[in-house]
Structure 1
Amino acid sequence: MSDQVNGQPDDRATPDGELAGAAPWQSPGPQNPPINPYDTARPSRPAEFNPWEQPDRRPHEADPARPGDYFGSHGANQGPALPPGAIPPPPSGQQNQGWGWDSTYPPHGQGSGGFPGGGAFGAGPYGAGPYGAAPQYQAPPKPGVIPLRPLGLGEILDGAFQACRRNPLATFGIAVLLQAVVALVTVLLIGNVLSSFEVFEARNPTPDSIIGAFASLGVFASVAGVVSAVALLVLQGILVIPIARAVINQRTSFGQAWRLARPRFLSLLGFGLLSFVAGLVGLVLLVGISTLAILGLDEYSVVVILPLVIGAVVLMVWVTVKLVVAPAALMLEGTGPWTSVKRSWLLTRGNWWRTFGIVLLTSIIVSIIASVISTPLTFAVSLIFGFSSTSSTAPDALASLPILVATQAITALFTAIGYAFQAGVTSLLYVDLRIRREGFDVVLMREHEQAASGRTDVLPGGTASFGHRPDDVG
């Protein structure tokens, strides 16, 4: 039986009286009678199966997207059903803002859309999103000749050269002056030494003349050694000042270096005396033990003496490296001789091999450069004065005196330059050790700012309230 709609039969009605297109939430009425829940469906004949027929689409499958459509056959800008609480996409024709859907694809080669604020992948800077830019690497500050961080070998060598180049009078000038004093003392003593050699050339020298000649040689060696050691110690202490001030970008004049170093001269000489006494005690012990071994063991004494000598040399090198930055600590921290020894001992703890390698390499470099330059000059001077002395009637000792003076002057010049460079390396090694152990870079940065504000006599480390204070060492 079929229903009548406007006088016409309605074929949409089902046998149960329900409209085929009626929704379950429509209210019952003449056109939509209620359904009896206890009424069971009548069995129907199963549909015939055709293996060549295309299977029906599943409900979740949609038609392929067409240009202008939004995901399938849902109509323009309609889209699929959204879950409860979801934010609907923006209407068609409006530009996407922030988070949202994008109905268009970017042109080929521009990449896909990225996160907000970041643009396409690879099109914008990394970290430009809503959380701010990623932290960038910043090089440590370098107010002077070195960067304020733990230093490498190349930075120490380059910093020493740059510091000497920026302060030539306060480094090379002082070094040449002190070496000139040593050379002058050496030349004045050479005449006495040459007269001693004339005693040995005599046919029948008396015992008194031989003893006097040996005594003069001993006095010459002692005086020359003491003068050279004191000059080297003073030079090493004074050169710490212009090198350290170059770290905070402060230039140092010749007179300023002497003025800043003058209050520390007595402490510096005290450190030199302490080192001399320690070395003398070690030498006396070595000679005494060797003498006892020779007297007691006779032919087997070499077995005892040789290990003793090797051990003494190793011990001397070890102690020398441990105390290599003591003059720098004494000059910059205002400490006494013994306190500077303890400071150097503390700073080189755990860095002995590195310190030894840098000092040894610097000594080798300086020796090679000085030899390469001074040897040809010395040979040329010897040839010049040698030809001029062949026509002279003066004694051999006086004839060779100009050669000795010229040779000594050339040697003193290049030795002074080498000492200045070595003192620069030692000073920067002290700064590096303090940066590694005590955060000395913070102090240097603060003192650089103080020096830039008008203070011209700043000594790095002298105003340190961060890191080491001299009274902390007991």
Structure 2
Amino acid sequence: MESDPDARPPLVPAGPLTAGQILGGAVRLLGIAPLATVGLPVLAAMVEFVLLQVVALPYGRVTGIPAADLAAVAALLWVVLGSAPAAVAFVVLDHAVRGRRIGPAAALATGLRRAPGLLAVYVLNLLVVALVAAVGLIPVAVLQAIGTNSFYRLVAGPVLVLSICAMGIYAWVVHVSLIVAGPAHVVQGFGVLGALAESRRLAPGNWWRTFGTLLAAGAVVAVLASPAALPLVVVGVPRVAAGLWAALVAGVVTPFIAGVIGLIHVDQRVPWRSFR
């Protein structure tokens, strides 16, 4: 009997996954079709760097480039540009979990077709979380509408702090519940709203496991990315060299985070057997 040339050992064992298996699988993902999983986010980060320079140069002559403004522009730009690398990583991961090989060209073609929908999922996710967080401002707005005497000024401050803290925590709860909407869209083929609904369907009973795994992944990224980011803060490093180095760091961090989220999705789907 001939062996399947497209077969390979599955990326992770069948059944529920531990946090260590998820993190280890995300690291191993970097070596699978690296031209697609690593090369594409490097290219996307380089494009972002060039676009930021185009925005920053004329903007800085007028305003001095406020750091907060530029950071917000960079974050929003990466949501747009990062959707394609994430979609490709989800495609490669799906094949690796099934024990199947996929070439860079096929991964890119499939991922790029899914990227616009994934971008819509990300944007809608951000809007939902932002709306939830904004609810924390309602009590303060009500207090301001009632009056402006000393009592309301005294109460408004603590109420604002408590409301923002409460809604911030709840927004994070909602965000974790929607975290696997991306792979649900790319891998399972759900539409934008269907992917968010599927993530919410899988969330009950998995929230703390998901939160803990994301926390561990964030710690890994912080430990690895902090030394890697050192050249970016050294005085005298040319801007172009710093931008290229940041692109290389993004080439590792982006597929790793996508791999963690994708494997969380796999782990959540195990009891439902929906990926068999």
TM-score for both structures, normalised by structure 2: 0.85
Partners of 1:293 and 1:305 within 8 A in 2: no
1:336 equivalenced with 2:186 (yes/no) = no
Share of identical aligned residues, percent?
25
Q: What is the CA distance between 1:266 and its match in structure 2?
A: 3.5
Partners of 2:33 and 2:102 within 8 A in 1: yes
Partners of 1:170 and 1:252 within 8 A in 2: no
1:240 match: 90
1:263 match: 113
1:170 match: 36
2:104 match: 254
Distance in 2 separating the partners of 1:277 and 1:197: 28
1:226 equivalenced with 2:76 (yes/no) = yes
1:352 to 192, 207, 212: 207
Where 1:332 maps in the other structure, the secondary structure is helix
Alignment of 1:33-432 (within 5 A): 143-197=9-63, 223-294=73-144, 296=147, 297-375=152-230, 377-380=231-234, 382-383=235-236, 385=237, 403-432=238-267
Where 1:147 maps in the other structure, the secondary structure is coil
Partners of 2:185 and 2:192 within 8 A in 1: yes
TM-superposition CA deviations, 1:311-333 (whole Å, max 9, x none): 11111110111011111111111
Distance in 1 separating the partners of 2:29 and 2:208: 25
> Measured at CA, do residues 369 and 293 of structure 1 come closer, stay the same or move farther in structure 2, by a change above 3 Å?
farther
Partners of 2:137 and 2:163 within 8 A in 1: no
Distance in 2 separating the partners of 1:406 and 1:289: 48
What letter matches 1:143 in structure 2?
P
> Measured at CA, do residues 188 and 254 of structure 1 come closer, stay the same or move farther in structure 2, by a change above 3 Å?
farther
Identify, as 1 or 2, the structure richer in helix: 2
Where 2:100 maps in the other structure, the secondary structure is coil
> Measured at CA, do residues 293 and 361 of structure 1 come closer, stay the same or move farther in structure 2, by a change above 3 Å?
farther
Partners of 1:145 and 1:246 within 8 A in 2: yes
> Measured at CA, do residues 278 and 196 of structure 1 come closer, stay the same or move farther in structure 2, by a change above 3 Å?
same
Distance in 1 separating the partners of 2:58 and 2:154: 40
Q: What is the CA distance between 1:298 and its match in structure 2?
A: 0.7
Distance in 1 separating the partners of 2:135 and 2:239: 37
Where 2:30 maps in the other structure, the secondary structure is helix
Q: What is the CA distance between 1:269 and its match in structure 2?
A: 2.9
Question: Structure 1 stretches (4+) deviating beyond 4 angstroms?
Answer: 220-223
Q: What is the CA distance between 1:197 and its match in structure 2?
A: 4.2
Where 1:166 maps in the other structure, the secondary structure is coil
Which runs of 5 or more structure 2 residues have no equivalent in the other structure? 1-7
Distance in 1 separating the partners of 2:232 and 2:91: 33
> Measured at CA, do residues 378 and 222 of structure 1 come closer, stay the same or move farther in structure 2, by a change above 3 Å?
closer
Distance in 1 separating the partners of 2:140 and 2:35: 48
More off after superposition, 414-423 vs 275-284: 275-284
The number of residues matched between the two structures is 263
Distance in 2 separating the partners of 1:313 and 1:419: 25
Distance in 2 separating the partners of 1:284 and 1:313: 9
Q: What is the CA distance between 1:310 and its match in structure 2?
A: 0.6
1:8 match: none
What letter matches 2:266 in structure 1?
V
Distance in 2 separating the partners of 1:144 and 1:316: 35
TM-superposition CA deviations, 1:171-196 (whole Å, max 9, x none): 11112112222222112222123212
